[in-house]
A = this chain, B = another copy of it.
Amino acid sequence: MKGILLFGHGARNSDWARPFGQIRQLIMAADETALVEMGFLELMRPTFIEGIDTLVGQGATEIVVVPIFIAGGGHVNKDLPPLAADAMARHAGLAIRLAQPVGEAPSVLAAMADYALQVMPAE
């Protein structure tokens, strides 16, 4: 079974995770069979490995990790690959693929630009 892990940085304030919950709901509404969890790098739970463990417990054998980051920086390029390697070492037979950060997807960039135009002051 396929699974999606929404990978985020984490923050001290629990409200910060709200968009992650909304993205998860939207994915599940679009595909009832999708297994979707979130996993945070720091400051919040579930952690990355807790999110992976939950997906595996639900039967996921192939997981795509979607970085919910504006761009690829140290967290995505340096911190994430070892986390994925550890998860694959922990779960024999599990395949993990790392997607590009959402902020680099053309459709997301277009939505961000549209949003900025919507909130621009009227002449």
Q: Which residues of A contact B (CB under 8 A)?
A: 2, 4, 6, 8-9, 11-13, 15-19, 22-23, 26-27, 30-31, 34, 36, 62-64, 66, 68-74, 95, 97, 99-100, 102-105, 107-117, 119-123
Contacts and interface: CB of A to CB of B under 8 A. Distances in A.
A107 B114 contact: yes
Given A2-B123, A34-B120, A19 B113 contact: no
Contact of A115 (B8, B34, B71, B105): B105
Contact of A13 (B31, B68, B73, B116): B73
Given A6-B116, A73-B16, A121-B97, A26 B110 contact: yes
Q: Please name the 3 residue pairs, one residue from A and one from B, whose CB atoms are nearest each other, closest first.
A: A26-B113, A111-B111, A62-B121
